[in-house]
Structure 1
Amino acid sequence: MTNPLQTLSFDELVRQVRACTLCADVLPCEPRPVVQLSEASRILVVGQAPGRRVHETGLPFNDPSGDRLRQWMGVTRDTFYDESRMAILPMGFCYPGTGKSGDLPPRPECAATWRDALLSRLTNIELTLVIGQYAHAWHIGKSRATLTENVRAWREYWPRLVPMPHPSPRNNLWLRRNPWFEQEVVPALQNRVSEVLNDSFDQRPTPET
């Protein structure tokens, strides 16, 4: 059976996503879906869900996690927030609230309702960064027991997908215990990001003279 969302124009689909109030009754704040995407996007960043600061500003990864992620990728803020280059599509679009050990998991309604329709429109994606356990579960599946095992197996998904830990400061201990990630994966990731972005720049139309 055809998903009725597939019949919408891309602009209308994104408009409906940004106006979504599906989880209003269970969210701690007013719904504010935070996504960034264009049909021209070449890199897809898949996170977990917006934190409080992102909810307040409406800008994805506008926090210390984003600073570290951009460092890992080797890109500037201007490049990161250029939707013609980067799509940012978390597993949950709205801030889910805070629990005893950090932010709550992404609301599952987002992925179930919107994800397939949105991903099917991003036909120019050449590299997907899959960040955190909930993104791993959707985009990779559960073939391995832990997030660490998925990240260690990054070469199996290369060069179109990179499983990653979350860049949150809460993961500093993980990074200290797994120095190979920043020694091996990050340099390869930076090269791949540069390759994709340079290729997308080269393919832009040449202005008429």
Structure 2
Amino acid sequence: MNHKRYPSPDASPDASLNALLAEVRDCRVCEAHLPLGPRPVLQAAAGARILIVGQAPGARVHASGVPWDDASGARLRQWLGVEAAEFYGERFAIIPMGYCYPGRGKGGDLPPRRECADLWLDMLLDKIPSIELTLLIGLHAQRHFLGRRRKATLTDTVRAWREFAPAFIPLPHPSPRNTPWFQANPWFEQELLPMLKARIENRKK
């Protein structure tokens, strides 16, 4: 793929990142495999300090083009202790493992397509060098960023969050479908979420 939009090497970090984001949003590599067509959904600013890595947009997010614009996003913002205006501001970069809605399978949405991370992720991360905290939401993000360090199950990985802090915090997906998991793992709300909110608040300073 030709990267034609990059500005000159001495361009500002914001200009360089914005050029790359424009190219990502025009990506059509997986078009033949996407039931609703390509619509990459992500956000980033060069000075972002917190990175959120989820799975892939759902159908509602595909329709709106706004990351985490659904019930899962509302719960995620509650976990972080932030309002929507802050969540969609320059402090947060939101780059899922897959940028387009992958379609539905028998058990829910299909996994994110690998092409997104293979083509774009490293380049995007290179242009947001101030990231201090990365939230790994769900199995796919944890598998990519933690590799062999992750545990046998998502529950075990999240429970072992202290091993990955301060750079990474693994989280379950905040989908309402995971309510039974939250009920079965009260330590998550009692131990991890207070720490997470404190970390997010401290990043404001």
- TM superposition score normalised by structure 2: 0.91
Q: What is the alpha-carbon distance in structure 2 between the residues aligned to residue 4 and residue 86 of structure 1?
A: 28
Deviations 1:6-37 (A, max 9, x none): x9332221110011111000000120000010
* Deviation, structure 1 residue 106: 0.2
Matches within 5 A, 1:23-42: 23-42=30-49
**CA-based RMSD:** 1.5
Find the counterpart in structure 2 of residue 134 from structure 1. Answer: 140
The yes-or-no answer on 1:109 pairing with 2:115 is yes
Aligned equivalent of 1:85: 91
Q: How does 1:8-47 map to 2 (within 5 A)?
A: 8=6, 9-47=16-54
| Residue number in structure 2 paired with 1:61 | 68
Measure, in 1, the Cα distance between the counterparts of 2:135 and 2:178. Answer: 17
Q: Which amino acid aligns with 1:77?
A: A
When structure 1 is superposed on structure 2, of 61-70 and 156-165 the one drifting more is 156-165
Q: Give structure 2 stretches of 5+ with no counterpart.
A: 7-15
C-alpha distance in 2, partners of 1:132/1:149? 12
Q: Structure 1: which 5+ residue stretches go unaligned?
A: 200-209
Q: Which aligned pairs between 1:162-177 and structure 2 lie closer than 5 A?
A: 162-177=169-184
TM-score when normalising by structure 1 = 0.89
Shift of 1:99: 1.0
Query: Which residue among 117, 123, 130 is the counterpart of 1:124?
Result: 130
Matched, 1:159 2:166: yes
Shift of 1:4: 7.8
Measure, in 2, the Cα distance between the counterparts of 1:120 and 1:147.
27
Q: How many residue pairs end up in the alignment?
A: 194
Deviation per residue, 1:39-96 (Å, 9 max, x gap): 01111000000000000000000000000000000000000010x1100000000000
